[in-house]
Amino acid sequence: PEISQPDAVEFAVVWKQPTGAVASLPNLKALQSFGAGVDSILSDLTLPASLPLARIVDPHLTASMLEYLDTVLNYYRLRFDEFGTNQQQQLWKPRSPRKIRHLTVLGLGELGSAAARHFAGLGYAVSGWSGRLHQIDGVQCFAGDHQFAEAVAEADLLICLLPLTGATENLLNEARLAQLKTGAILVNVARGAIVDDEALLCALQTGKLAAACLDVFRIEPLPVEHPFWTTSGILLTPHISAVTNADTAVAQIAENYRRVQAGLPLLNQVDRTRGY
């Protein structure tokens, strides 16, 4: 709203922009997301349909996500969740590590494929699931709704790295969570609205899921009255698994500005019809 000369703007770097703000810039040639995800940008229905949109793809962002996932995996494998609860009751109860052998990664894009490769390299059995079929060494790949059940059937730990689109909203609902092994652990580092909150609470209460680690939520910050804060078995982090680092992202943003000036295609351009 503070832009004094909307006509002069040709390139905009955006993140959770107010509805209508982009449409009010008549000479805009391209949009650049300040993050890897673009769901909040595309949720503005006034966005011109033909406007090119780029997102951040950054090895530092990927490294940060892998560090987070490694930490979460070992937290559960070494039973830090159980020992934390035991400490509150001054209980000394040594136990051997949890058997986490098989991981399934939902989404095999920049982050998901890196995670699948990383854990396969560490010796875990890894399955991956995406829209189109991928081929990744050491990873059993599945694609499409008809292969979802097969992709998740063996998972001790399910990692969600899907983008939030019309097709993935509430994808992890009661029916799909029922296809997991009893005692599986869910890690959602993608977007909160991909998981049906009620179905997740129910799966934890019934023991279908042993635990859930959530970095992302339907509403952020998570409202104080939300049951996720107090549900046993949920570990929360405040959307910190892979935050855009301005120092490393700025070069590709500047390069995309130059590309727009030169009439060249953008780096890391989003497919507007797919929504990711």
Minimum CB distance to ligand NAP, residue 141 (Å): 10
CB of 55 to ligand NAP, least distance (A): 7
Q: What region, left, alpha or beta, does residue 204 occupy, with left being phi > 0 and alpha being psi -120 to 50 degrees?
A: alpha
Q: Which of 36, 116, 155, 249 binds ligand NAP (CB under 6 A)?
A: 36
Residue type, 68: Y
Q: Which of 127, 168, 252, 256 binds ligand NAP (CB under 6 A)?
A: 168
Q: Which is nearer to ligand NAP, 47 or 189 (CB)?
A: 189
Tell me which stretch binds ligand NAP (CB under 6 A): 15-23, 26-34, 126-134, 219-227: 126-134
52 lies in the site for ligand NAP, by CB under 6 A: no
Choose which of 162, 180, 184, 203 interacts with ligand NAP (CB under 6 A).
162
DSSP per-residue letters across 36-71: S--HHHHT-TTS-TT--EE----HHHHHHHHHHHHH
- Give dist(CA 39, CA 246) in Å, integer: 20
Nearer to ligand NAP, 25 or 38 (CB): 38
Rounded Cα distance between 276 and 260, Å, is: 20
Beta bridge partners of 72: none
State yes or no: is 146 an active-site residue. no
User: What's the one-letter identity of residue 50?
Assistant: S
**Which segment (76-84, 91-99, 105-113, 247-255) binds ligand NAP by CB under 6 A?**
105-113
Closest-CA residue to 108 (of 146, 134, 139):
134
Q: Which stretch binds ligand NAP (CB under 6 A): 76-84, 102-110, 196-204, 249-257?
A: 102-110
Could you write out the three-class secondary structure of 203-227?
HHHHCCEEEEEECCCCCCCCCCCCH
216 lies in the binding site for ligand NAP (CB under 6 A): yes
> Considering the rule CB under 6 A, would residue 47 count as an interface residue with ligand NAP?
no
Q: Is 131 exposed, middle or buried (0-12, 13-18, 19+ CB in 10 A)?
A: middle
Instruction: Check if 226 is active-site.
Output: no
Span from 41-49, 82-90, 155-163, 224-232 in contact with ligand NAP (CB under 6 A): 155-163
Q: Quick check: 107 binds ligand NAP (CB under 6 A)?
A: yes
Start-end of H helices in the chain: 39-42, 59-77, 80-88, 110-121, 148-152, 174-177, 197-206, 246-262
Residue 192 binds to ligand NAP (criterion: CB under 6 A): no
Residue 132 binds ligand NAP (CB under 6 A): yes
Task: Return all residues near 156 (Cβ < 8 A) that are at least 6 apart.
Answer: 98, 99, 100, 101, 102, 103, 181, 183, 184, 185
Sole binder of ligand NAP in the list 29, 109, 222, 269 (CB under 6 A): 109
146 binding ligand NAP? (CB under 6 A): no
Residues in the site for ligand NAP, rule: CB under 6 A? 36-37, 107-112, 130-132, 161-165, 167-168, 189-191, 215-216, 239, 241-243, 276
Residues designated catalytic:
191, 239
